[in-house]
Structure 1
């Protein structure tokens, strides 16, 4: 059984909290194929990883801790991107004027040394240079170069994690941002789209078909279809209220599972139906 958790809220949609409780509810294994955090806004989380010579985020760490299978954050999250703010109006390598890409970590915990892809157009923070093994890092200085690297390196990592998800008995796959699905071609039995106050439950096959329609041509970015575009094409099987959680409850998967049980029951029922 594969269950996808997505959100139409770009930030603070509640995906990870929902996923952590769901992992406890079904005794499952968590996956977050793509993730990222910010050197400035998520500095404590960044320091926690970099001091171990690693690069991962809080979401992957929480999913790994809640999974029944023994995992590292890198095991379930093969691609992690570090960003930082970019004041000013000049657009950077990835055509963003508000923040700039710093470094990608590509690879799972199975590899002794993951592949790092660094932005050659910016000065890397000193802690990145000293904390990560960058001797064999790939440096990119243009979007064309980066696209070529992603085809060769990133896509292979996504293919590998897809295989691991397909072989899992009970998998919970968390998307990123407000992206409809983190992997194309992945079969899911049911989907929960979460946001503050509610979860909308969808049949996995119908959701996948809607993603294909909403994604349009390859030029429009098939890997980056937004949730809102998909939800305009299908109706949910169920809509379930999500109560507000106290901070202590959010740290305990079993308590999240108890509180969100009606939503999880609706999701599992849809998956098995």
Structure 2
């Protein structure tokens, strides 16, 4: 059973809280193929990882901790991007005017590789604690696209294979991107917004995605959930109660609170 959790709200839809509870409910393994954090806004999370000579975010850490198997954040999140705020007026190397791409951690078959933006202000702690001496350095979008076509594509292909091999799996998307992995079939999809979850048949959702043209963002063509949902009706819409911070941090508590949504999602997956 493969379940996808996507966000209807790009800012903070509640995808990770929903996903951790679903992992506890379904006794599944979680994946977040792409993720990122900001050196300024997510500084505590950045420091905790870099202090250990690693780079991952709190979402991947929460998913790994809630998974049925013992997995590392890097294994379930092969692509992690570090950003920092930008005060420039241009769109930046990958089309984000308000923030600057600093570096990527790309994990393929358990080995971490790094890709660094040549013009970025790389934090001294990253240079000191991450193995950046052997990193690939990119100074233009064409050069970065070449790297992504090879290295990033290999990482996503590898994690897609891991997803297909799992008996029960929950894949969390990022931002408002409709599908974070190509060539993976999903049995059911939950699109999460604050206060509700809309549940879709996996085949219908992926067919709707196939007719939507991608939007050029951050060096990629991506289909947003909003565009996909214009071509796909939900099988169910379930209200999600607001949770206190302690409950949001406890996958079992989330599983209890969101049980009706999970029942609907799994029922559609098994239909």
Fold in common (TM above 0.5)? yes
Contact 1:175 1:182 in 2 (8 A): yes
Instruction: Call closer, same or farther: CA 1:186–1:215 in 2, change over 3 Å.
Output: farther
Q: Secondary structure, in 3 states, of the residue corresponding to 2:212?
A: helix
Distance 1:218 1:13 in 2: 22
Residue 181 of structure 1, CA deviation: 0.7
Structure 2 counterpart of 1:234: 232
Contact 2:13 2:194 in 1 (8 A): yes
Residue 72 of structure 1, CA deviation: 0.5
Structure 1 counterpart of 2:13: 13
Structure 1 counterpart of 2:106: 106
Distance 1:157 1:216 in 2: 21
RMSD: 1.6
Structure 1 counterpart of 2:165: 167
Residue 109 of structure 1, CA deviation: 7.4
In the TM superposition, what whole-angstrom CA distance separates every residue of 1:54-76 from its partner, at most 9, and x where no partner exists? 00000000000000100000010
Structure 2 counterpart of 1:25: 25
Structure 1 counterpart of 2:133: 135
Residue 185 of structure 1, CA deviation: 2.0
Instruction: Call closer, same or farther: CA 1:209–1:64 in 2, change over 3 Å.
Output: same
Unaligned runs of 5+ in 1: none
Instruction: Call closer, same or farther: CA 1:202–1:117 in 2, change over 3 Å.
Output: same
Distance 1:42 1:218 in 2: 26
Contact 2:109 2:158 in 1 (8 A): no
Alignment partner of 1:245 out of 232, 238, 243? 243
TM-score between the two structures when normalised by the length of structure 2: 0.96
Residue 88 of structure 1, CA deviation: 2.9
Distance 2:153 2:51 in 1: 28
Structure 2 counterpart of 1:70: 70
Structure 2 counterpart of 1:47: 47
Contact 2:188 2:269 in 1 (8 A): yes
